[in-house]
């Protein structure tokens, strides 16, 4: 369809270009060849792929991938409608469910984790079975499916992502298969390993045969020869079953990029959610998968639903699978910590930690004492605080806090009278109005900072200072012993 559209669009341009060329009997053959090549180049440069053209009443049908529409919409609609009027026998229902599981796992354990990501290796009998059952899901050949999936991982959420959720949830679910794409805008990936696999090559070459046999004929013949339910086998175990498998797989492209948490990285759309995992045979822990794609697991915890992981592990035990790949626990924990820290940084940025010390105005001690006559200023560890609005709320009473106004209350605040809590230091930081120039308790604070390496000021991902509990600027690690309230 695409090739035909390209030829049709280019031909008029070539003919009109030729018509404009001046005719001359003296034109040399070499000049004619060069002119023709130039004309062809011009025609190519003016061609606009159908996907780049607006929808109109005259060209809408050219935008559609009719083969895909037939396989994922027309046949399922007709088959599911017919199934409503076809009695579902118990044996056929069991067959439909079992074949749903087998073809679904053919995609997740075969197409996805084995061939797309090489998360493990499989013996020849297992590769043949996975290729057969995966073909029964009617989602394309291994080569086509895996190449597209590698493009998706390499270009996630970009224009080159074949099923980017940024283009809409419905588009990522099914729309990307309905409409034609400009192949020049497709991403490129290495599939030499797929081309070297004889099972992949054979299935790709004979995919129509595999599709018809495993998608429709196999379940029909099992039900027909087994208990005489030919029609039920075709409709229920064939078409209805593949429709459910289709949308289960499609949910990995859509729902897994839209619903859930992002415990490993939030720069891209993949998310983890148990509901998606249930629908997709364990593929719902998608944030983990995009961070560690060659890990044969999608779910880390033993209680998380990932039947594909359990199947691969079991296949290893019986010798059909080997070389199961896993990322180191250290790398996984690093991702978790970094993402938690990123979330903490965002949370921290929303809180009031007081004016940073380096942004406070510097005043002389005498100036501080003078200003303290008109407002309630208290000096603690070289930092001046305005406690005017806090005097009435002070848990220790007004007298104690008033006794420190205009004075150096570092000793009093840090254990001379009462060793204040972490919350008290945080609250005090929101009342900062200045710092004292030179000497005084600033030097004491600096010395305490040097002695306590853990209190060194650090910055988060937003370049804001991280204030750890117990390392606030007003806290002196070795409390100064005072004689009592001033």
SS3 67: helix
Q: Which residues contact 246 (CB under 8 A, 6 or more apart)?
A: 72, 76, 137, 138, 139
Task: Inform me whether the pLDDT recorded for 28 exceeds 60.
Answer: no
> According to the model, what pLDDT value does residue 164 have?
92
How many Cβ atoms from other residues are within 10 Å of residue 61's Cβ? 9
Name every residue whose Cβ is closer than 8 Å to that of residue 169 and which is 6 or more positions away in sequence.
254, 258
Query: Which tokens hold the place of 475?
Result: 């806290």
Report CA-CA distances (Å) from 118 to 87, 133, 212, 307.
Answer: 42, 18, 27, 18
> How large is the average pLDDT for residues 372-379?
91
Number of H helices, E strands in the chain: 24, 8
In the prediction, which pLDDT does 57 show?
82
Pairing of strands 121-122, 432-436: unpaired
Residue-wise pLDDT tens digits, 30-71: 455 455 555 555 555 577 887 778 878 888 888 888 999 999
What span, in angstroms and rounded, lies between the C-alpha atoms of 398 and 17? 94
pLDDT at 451 over 80: no
Percent of the chain with pLDDT over 90: 60
pTM over 0.85: no
Residue 47 CA to its chain's centroid (Å): 35
Alpha helices per DSSP H over 273-375: 274-279, 286-291, 307-317, 329-349, 365-371
Q: If pLDDT is split at 50, 70 and 90, which confidence band does 189 have?
A: very high
Q: What DSSP element (H or E) covers 95? A: helix 90-105
- Is residue 231 scored above 70 in pLDDT? yes
Mean of per-residue pLDDT scores for the chain: 84
More confident residue, 178 or 453: 178
Does pLDDT of 214 surpass 70?
yes
Q: Are 479 and 415 in contact (CB under 8 A)?
A: yes
Rounded mean pLDDT, 232-249: 96
Q: What is the pLDDT of residue 276?
A: 95
120-146 pLDDT, tens digit per residue, is 999 999 999 999 999 999 999 999 999
Of 198, 170, 110, 105, residue with least CA distance to 146? 110
Q: Are 140 and 164 in contact (CB under 8 A)?
A: no
Q: By CB neighbour count within 10 A (0-12 exposed, 13-18 middle, 19+ buried), where does 325 fall? A: middle
| Residue 207 tokens, joined | 């995919």
Contact by Cβ (8 Å): 393, 458: no
SS3 (DSSP) at 339 = helix
């Amino acid at each position: 369809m695409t090739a035909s559209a390209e030829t049709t669009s280019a031909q008029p341009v070539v003919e009109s270009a030729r018509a404009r060329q001046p005719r001359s009997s003296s034109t040399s053959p070499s000049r004619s060849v060069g002119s023709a090549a130039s004309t062809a180049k011009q025609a190519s440069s003016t061609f606009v792929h159908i996907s780049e053209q607006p929808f109109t009443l005259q060209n809408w049908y050219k935008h559609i991938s009719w083969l895909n529409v037939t396989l994922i919409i027309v046949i399922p609609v007709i088959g599911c409608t017919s199934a409503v009027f076809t009695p579902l026998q118990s044996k056929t229902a069991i067959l439909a469910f079992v074949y749903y599981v087998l073809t679904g796992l053919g995609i997740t354990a075969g197409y996805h984790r084995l061939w797309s990501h090489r998360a493990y290796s499989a013996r020849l009998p297992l590769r043949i079975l996975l290729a057969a059952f995966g073909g029964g899901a009617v989602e394309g050949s291994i080569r086509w499916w895996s190449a597209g999936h590698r493009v998706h991982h390499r270009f996630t959420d970009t224009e080159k992502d074949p099923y980017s959720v940024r283009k809409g949830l419905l588009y990522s679910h099914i729309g990307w298969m309905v409409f034609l794409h400009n192949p020049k805008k497709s991403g490129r990936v290495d599939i030499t390993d797929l081309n070297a696999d004889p099972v992949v090559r054979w299935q790709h070459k004979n995919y129509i045969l595999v599709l018809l046999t495993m998608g429709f004929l196999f379940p029909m013949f099992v039900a027909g020869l087994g208990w005489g339910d030919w029609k039920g086998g075709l409709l229920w175990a064939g078409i209805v079953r593949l429709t459910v498998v289709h949308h289960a797989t499609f949910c990995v492209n859509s729902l897994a990029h839209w619903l859930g948490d992002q415990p490993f990285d939030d720069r891209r759309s993949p998310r983890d959610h148990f509901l998606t995992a249930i629908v997709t045979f364990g593929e719902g822990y998608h944030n983990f998968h995009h961070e560690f794609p060659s890990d044969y697991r999608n779910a880390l915890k033993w209680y998380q639903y990932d039947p594909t992981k359990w199947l691969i592990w079991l296949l290893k035990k019986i010798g059909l699978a080997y070389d199961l790949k896993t990322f180191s626990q250290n790398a996984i924990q690093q991702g978790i910590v970094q993402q938690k820290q990123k979330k903490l940084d965002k949370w921290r940025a929303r809180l009031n930690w007081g004016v940073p010390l380096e942004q406070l105005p510097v005043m002389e001690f005498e100036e501080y004492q003078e200003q303290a006559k008109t407002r309630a200023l208290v000096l603690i560890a070289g930092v001046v605080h305005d406690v005017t609005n806090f005097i009435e709320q002070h848990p220790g009473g007004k007298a104690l806090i008033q006794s420190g106004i205009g004075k150096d209350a570092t000793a009093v605040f840090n254990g001379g009278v009462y060793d204040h809590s972490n919350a008290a230091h945080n609250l005090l930081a929101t009342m900062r109005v200045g710092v004292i120039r030179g000497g005084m308790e600033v030097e004491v604070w600096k010395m305490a900072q040097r002695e306590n390496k853990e209190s060194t000021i650090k910055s988060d991902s937003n370049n804001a200072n991280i204030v750890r509990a117990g390392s606030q600027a007003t806290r002196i690690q070795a409390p100064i012993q005072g004689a009592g309230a001033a």
